[in-house]
Amino acid sequence: MSISTMILQSPPQATDSNITIPGSKSYTNRALILAALSRTNVILSHCSLSDDSRALLDALEKCGVLVSVSNDTIEIDSSNLAPYRGGIEVGAAGTTMRFLTSFFSILPGCDVVLSGSKRMHERPIGDLVEALVSLGADISYEGSQGCPPLRIRGKKLCGGEVSLSASISSQYLTSLLLVGGEFDKGLTISLDGPPVSRSYIAMTEEVLRDFKREFRVKSDSVYHVSPRELSKQVHAYTCESDASGASYFFGAAALSPGGRVRINYFSLNSLQGDAAFPRLLERMGATVTEGKEHGVPLVEVVGPNELIAIEADMSLMPDTAQTLAVIASQAKGTTRLTGLHTLRHKETDRIHALVTEFSRLGIKTNAGDDWLEVEGTSDLVLAPIETYDDHRMAMSFSLLAFRHSGIHIKDSQVVTKSFPTFWELFGTLGVLIQEKP
């Protein structure tokens, strides 16, 4: 993939756009695992075709799953699901790494070395591995203790009860819930302490229900998944639009006085925590309207003449924290973001990356382990923006183009991790985009 810089010039007039956002990566990847374990034909519609989802598809194909992709529809035939022996490389796809760790553990006959990018090999996975090993899984570390790469030898597991810490990532719990039906006795998971990102756990519960998996939430900290019943099959599933991806387009409207962005097939009541992001913009002064047109749900955001600073707990929508931070840099006053503890363990240390880039742009910040304050300003020092191999850094900082011309986004191709068509859609907002090799 070529490395390029996007040079962004402000729109000549206030943006006025109707947008349809691609499918959610989070929904797509959960559905792909369940479809593969169904051992039948499943058609998934409105899917994400991000790098993360494609990495998962590549791994499933190596296990005998037949995959057919047409536009945003993925057809899965897993009737010949089989063990794979060899290496699997997932790049920077954290969700894929965690989901496949459990998937390969319960697939008898697998002998896989699961690896990723340099940053992936620094990201913790020990709590998930420890839980699986306690259930009888055969997993060993090929590098640093507690981090990928992993050697996984799959086998049939009995299941039963397991304790899990989900204080670093809710994806550990999701990974186990998705494969829980493959254990002979099912799986009962007791959480050791409160989990992070509960909204993503609720999403997992919804997808499990949609795939007719039998599970119970016994309490806030105890989950039980029953053995999968072959008689209960799902052959079609539609993914929701990506609420995290929508945040950049709603943010564009908020930064464009009098500008309007309407996103179709979007609801503020989605279980995606990021779907509540427009409510934060509303508190900052934007006008937010939810409705339906010809039966299609939609949300519209209109930008105010002036944005005002707020305090916001981002613990249920951590993937939009960078979006809000960039918008806050153009608001009146100092915005305080809390609940950011998971940002230290993402594609990069996102709090550090935000503080560093804001400093280079002349924007004042103050930060702690799990919080960030951003002081709004109308002044900006134009400097090329580093993206740290993080898709959300690129997409978030692109919003500055609605207030300042000449924004340079380096390594702009990183957006393909979650949103391959981002720059194409971003251009429809009126931003003038020039790609420089």
CA distance 51 to 54: 5
Q: Which of 319, 389, 390, 411 is catalytic?
A: 319
Residues in the chain: 437
Strands (E), 265-418: 287-293, 296-302, 311-313, 334-338, 365-367, 372-375, 407-409
Task: Identify the CA nearest to 277 among candidates 310, 321, 309, 308.
Answer: 321
Cross-strand partners of 224: 188, 216
CA distance 195 to 203: 14
Q: Cβ(147)–Cβ(118) under 8 Å?
A: no
CA distance 153 to 126: 17
CA distance 364 to 402: 20
* Phi, psi of 227, deg, nearest 5: -55, 140
* Phi, psi of 223, deg, nearest 5: -125, 140
**Other beta carbons less than 10 A from residue 193's beta carbon:** 10
Residue 67 burial (CB < 10 Å; 0-12/13-18/19+)? middle
Give me the sign of the Cα torsion angle 113, 2, 323, 359. Answer: positive
Residue type, 412: S
Task: Identify the CA nearest to 43 among candidates 244, 233, 264, 230.
Answer: 233
Give me the sign of the Cα torsion angle 49, 50, 51, 55. Answer: negative
H-only helix segments in 334-414: 350-360, 391-397
Q: Cβ(59)–Cβ(96) under 8 Å?
A: yes
Q: Cβ(100)–Cβ(88) under 8 Å?
A: yes
Residue 324 has which token pair?
């809000």
What 3-state DSSP class applies to 329?
Answer: coil
Q: Is 319 a catalytic residue?
A: yes
Q: Which residues contact residue 119 at a Cβ distance below 8 angstroms, ignoring those fewer than 6 apart?
A: 92, 347, 348, 389
* Active-site annotation, residues: 319
